[in-house]
């Protein structure tokens, strides 16, 4: 009876692409959020950093400043390059610049164009393409600087990037089919365009076309064999597939899919030990196969890395209820409410909160 108080209210936070995450309904790009959320931020910028055929770091700082280089604030992009910058309580600036510095790439500083309709606000959606930095060595004979051969890697053609950006706009509107068409064009132009392949995979997931999504994500993984990001993406796909199979009553197939997700995500956290999303996804997959203590450790680690990982918190509430750790469950519910006062999960969680409180009074 005690272990049936709470069902899973949320799945995992998937780290695929900007719209892919939204399509999966799990998580959006995050920046550290104030304790009291402001429903009408003065500045609201959503963005995606593209690093061509090579994956970026798991966390990347994005700086915002005025044209006089006065700091306004920071955002932090996740492993797929997604970020959100929101700030309120300041005078809206007329000129805002975004700055990204990543080792191995040319410094990026560009003006942000206010594209929002809200009067008195600064809204924008950004796609930032980082160019690999040219480095020089000195030849042993002659001392003439030459371009490092390792930097002569395949570049993503501009036409492919254009198709990718158009596809991302369609995906942001929820037009997965049109997004897929654009991403397919981008990949035909640039077969090694890893970001496009990963975005293509997640759009297929949104349409439950898992086999096609798997093929795209495996290609992306093969392009970056030492990166944890493609493993996180594939783990997310198998997790979603497992849920689809479970909903259809195919429990054995679902269990196999969850097991695949766990295997990939275990490797992903080894390769990306600072990725809160990897640990959050792993914890959710472990929960699905009944390994609750391992799930608790992974989910707790996700929150240690990033306390804003609300999807991990929701699954952790489930784990605590399984263990009859009701005080801990109530504490996490309270934290979730502080951060998400208008969450669609609120009514369900309030009902569970009331049931636990009544149980503890007995």
- Cβ-proximal residues to 131 (8 Å cutoff; 6+ apart), any chain: 105, 106
Q: Determine if residue 52 is left, alpha or beta; phi over 0 gives left, psi from -120 to 50 gives alpha, anything else beta.
A: left
pLDDT value for 269: 92
Percentage above 90 pLDDT, the chain: 29
Positive or negative torsion for Cα 279, 105, 130, 94: positive
**218-237 pLDDT, tens digit each:** 999 998 888 888 888 899 99
Quote the CA–CA distance of 94 and 91 in Å, as a whole number.
9
What residue ranges of the chain have pLDDT lower than 70? 1-41, 51-59, 89-94, 104, 106, 116-120, 131-155
- Evaluate if pTM is beyond 0.85: no
Give the CA diameter of the chain.
86
Q: Which pLDDT value is given to residue 57? A: 53
Count other C-beta atoms under 10 Å from residue 212's C-beta.
Answer: 15
Q: What is 2-137+155-361's CATH number?
A: 1.25.40.10
Domain residue spans of the chain = 2-137+155-361
**pLDDT tens digit string along 118-147?**
666 788 888 787 766 543 333 333 333 332
| pLDDT tens, position by position, 32-72 | 434 334 444 578 888 888 765 444 455 688 998 887 778 88
Quote the pLDDT of residue 299. Answer: 95
């Amino acid at each position: 009876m005690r272990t049936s108080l709470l069902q899973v209210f949320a799945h995992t936070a998937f780290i695929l692409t900007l719209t892919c995450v939204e399509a999966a309904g799990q998580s959006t790009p995050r920046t550290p959020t104030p304790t009291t959320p402001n429903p009408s931020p003065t500045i609201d910028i959503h963005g995606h950093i593209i690093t061509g055929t090579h994956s970026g770091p798991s966390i990347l700082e994005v700086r915002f400043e005025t044209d006089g280089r006065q700091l306004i604030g920071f955002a932090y992009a996740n492993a797929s390059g997604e970020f959100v910058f929101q700030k309120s309580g300041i005078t809206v600036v007329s000129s805002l610049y975004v700055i990204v510095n990543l080792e191995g790439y040319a410094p990026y500083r560009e003006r942000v164009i206010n594209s929002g309709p809200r009067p008195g606000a600064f809204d924008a959606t950004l796609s930032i393409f980082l160019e690999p930095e040219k480095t020089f060595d000195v030849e042993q004979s002659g001392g003439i600087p030459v371009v490092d051969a390792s930097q002569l890697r395949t570049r993503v053609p501009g036409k492919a990037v254009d198709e990718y950006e158009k596809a991302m706009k369609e995906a942001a509107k929820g037009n997965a089919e049109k997004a897929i068409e654009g991403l397919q064009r981008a990949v035909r132009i640039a077969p090694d365009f890893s970001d496009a392949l990963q975005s293509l995979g997640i759009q297929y997931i949104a349409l439950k076309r898992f086999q096609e999504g798997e093929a795209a994500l495996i290609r992306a993984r093969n392009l970056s064999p030492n990166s944890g990001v493609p493993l996180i993406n594939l783990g997310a796909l198998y997790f979603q597939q497992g849920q689809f199979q479970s909903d259809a009553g195919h429990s054995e197939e679902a269990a196999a899919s969850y097991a695949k997700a766990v295997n990939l995500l275990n490797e992903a956290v080894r390769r990306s030990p600072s990725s809160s999303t990897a640990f959050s996804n792993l914890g959710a997959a472990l929960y699905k196969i009944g390994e609750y203590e391992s799930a608790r450790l992974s989910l707790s680690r996700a929150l240690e890395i990033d306390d804003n990982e609300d999807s991990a918190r929701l699954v952790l509430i489930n784990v605590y209820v399984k263990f009859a750790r009701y005080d801990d469950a109530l504490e996490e519910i309270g934290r979730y409410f502080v951060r998400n006062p208008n969450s669609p999960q609120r009514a369900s969680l309030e009902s569970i909160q009331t049931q636990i409180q009544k149980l503890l009074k007995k």
